[in-house]
Amino acid sequence: MFEIPDDRKYLESHEWTTTDGDTVKIGISDFAQDELGDVVFVELPDEGDEITAGDEFGVVESIKAVSDLYAPISGTVVAVNEDLFDAPELVNEDPYGDGWMLELEPSSSDEFDDLLSPEEYREQTE
Amino acid sequence: MGLRKPPLYDVHADAGAQFTEFGGWDMPVEYDSIRAEHAAVRESVGIFDVSHMSEIEVSGPDGTALMQRLTTNDVAVLEPGDSQYSAIVDDDGLIIDDTVVYRLPDRDDPVYLFIPNAGHDEEMYDRWTSFRDEWDLDATVEDVTEDWAMFAVQGPDALETVSATTDAPVGDLSKFQAQYADVAGVECWVARTGYTGEDGFEVLCPWDDAETVWSALDATPCGLGSRDTLRMEMGFLLSGQDFDPEDEPRTPYEAGIGFVVKLDTEFVGRDALEQQHEAGVDETFVGFTLLDRGVPRHGYDIATEDGDVIGTVTSGTMSPTLSEPIGLGYVPVEYADDGTALIVLARGREKRAEIVTPPFIDN
């Protein structure tokens, strides 16, 4: 079984997001990293870039697959996990922790309501 | 149409394999991790189910003549128990498929078993039988793809693994030699061949005995994912990707396997290849590494430093051994020297690349 923590929300395309109230973090789920297999390359936007909910914001590549990353919510990038550039395997090892990808300052708070709850996402992956 | 399944499909599924479609077959692509499977083959021993490979048997008084006229290498040099890498080309000398031709023990006349790539069995059966009829040759051609399961045991410990299952002196086989041997009590055709750059064996066993033989061979199960990364590190061609009659039409000379073309034999495509041999090729198969972060992929453009597109990536990956992005493709010969600086366009982004003649690893 794949880990689906209750403290965050999900997209059908397997990204997750959590918030501490001010900023949000984004990454990909345990299910997604397992499907991809060994992650070898991550391409992410720069700090200060604007991203829009539903649009591609980057690429994650494993040995066998290339997958676009989709933004769960809109906002301004305030931090990028640069550790992934030298150690993309962190996405496999700790998808909800050290394998995070972006931190955003959200442009609206309503978009959270459109995302999947852990329960809804669990149903999708079963 | 449904996908064809290897005899051990359920065994692989129970072992947790992920599957992928390849050549019309549903095959394991990885069990746990491509990186770990790759490392097992480079450092100890891995086993691949390659039962999707085709097998065609050719026998009869004119069997040798038929094989000679439809493959580029010289089958006349093969003794029983020998094998050779070869190409099957069309009238224009373009590669339809690459193959290994085994000479089996004689049955009155020489008998050959050749191994086209996955999904090519029907096409090759048709090609062999129609030319046989056109040339009025006395030869028997059989598609025995689903009579044989095929396992590749590869890695520095492969000899130990195979020897543990048989009394036959398989360690005496030189590279490209083969013999019948009882493996776990099942008569198999055991060949010192492979597609990884490591020492190893390919074991053909009767389809119905596949599980007995597979379970006796004690090695890390490996999927097509690591088979691909291992062969790319060696610069070995993948049929349908590094050459393809429709999408990437190439001659053996362009594809870097001119050593399998024996112009002193008679075969379909010989005259076209002789002309190219005399004139030289315009484009050639090369390897390269990326100096920027990224992964080269099939279909990406290769450009000069000025941005002129001059070639195409046909295969690429992150090399698990080197942890560097490596690729294969075709460029004009004037850009093929080691160290030539080029650009690979990865999804619209320019990545600096440098020509490196494969193999990428020392083996």
Boundaries of every domain in chain B: 9-53+147-234, 57-128, 282-355
Q: Choose the CATH number for B282-355 among 3.90.550.10, 2.40.30.110, 2.60.40.10, 2.30.110.10.
A: 2.40.30.110
The whole-angstrom distance between A35's CA and the closest CA on chain B is: 9
Count A/B contacts: CB-CB distance under 8 Å.
38
Q: Which value does ipTM take for this structure?
A: 0.88
Interface test with B, best of A34, A56, A59, A64 (most B CBs within 10 A): A64
pLDDT for residue A96 is more than 80: yes
The strand pairing partners of B350, in sequence order, are: B345
Beta strands A102-106 and A75-80, pairing class: antiparallel
pLDDT digits (tens, 9 = 90+) for B182-207: 999 999 999 999 999 999 999 999 99
In whole numbers, what is the pLDDT of chain B averaged over residues?
97
For A11-106, which CATH class?
mainly beta
The confidence score (pLDDT) of residue A1 equals 78
- For residue B359, whether the previous peptide bond is cis, meaning omega lies within 30 degrees of 0, is yes
pLDDT for residue B1 is more than 80: no
Interface check for B295 against chain A (CB to CB < 8 A): the answer is yes
Facing B293 at nearest CB: one of A38, A63, A85: A85
Please state the rounded mean pLDDT for residues A71-99: 97
The CATH fold assigned to B57-128 is Alpha-Beta Plaits (3.30.70)
Interface check for B347 against chain A (CB to CB < 8 A): the answer is yes
pLDDT for residue B228 is more than 70: yes
Q: Note the pTM of the prediction, 2 decimals.
A: 0.95
Interface check for A87 against chain B (CB to CB < 8 A): the answer is no
| Tokens representing residue A62 in the block | 């494993």
For B9-53+147-234, which CATH class?
alpha beta
Interface test with A, best of B19, B20, B30 (most A CBs within 10 A): B30
Strand order in the sheet with A39-43: A39-43, A56-62, A66-70
The confidence score (pLDDT) of residue B49 equals 98
Using an 8 Å Cβ cutoff, are B111 and B105 in contact?
yes
Please state the rounded mean pLDDT for residues B24-51: 97
List of E strands, chain A? 9-10, 15-19, 24-28, 39-43, 50-51, 56-62, 66-70, 75-80, 102-106
Please state the rounded mean pLDDT for residues B264-292: 98
pLDDT digits (tens, 9 = 90+) for B325-353: 999 999 999 999 999 999 999 998 999 99
**Is B254 within any annotated ligand binding site?**
no
Please state the rounded mean pLDDT for residues B4-14: 98
| Tokens representing residue A15 in the block | 């990204």
The confidence score (pLDDT) of residue B44 equals 98
The single residue listed with the structure tokens 């097992």 is B40
pLDDT for residue B218 is more than 90: yes
The confidence score (pLDDT) of residue B201 equals 98
The confidence score (pLDDT) of residue A111 equals 85
Contact A64 B30 (CB under 8 A): yes
The confidence score (pLDDT) of residue A113 equals 85
Going from N- to C-terminal start, the domains of chain A cover: 11-106
Q: Report residue B363's pLDDT band, with 50, 70 and 90 as the boundaries.
A: confident
The confidence score (pLDDT) of residue B175 equals 97
SS3 of residue B321 by DSSP: coil
Least CA distance to B294: which residue of chain A?
A41
Using an 8 Å Cβ cutoff, are B296 and B276 in contact?
no
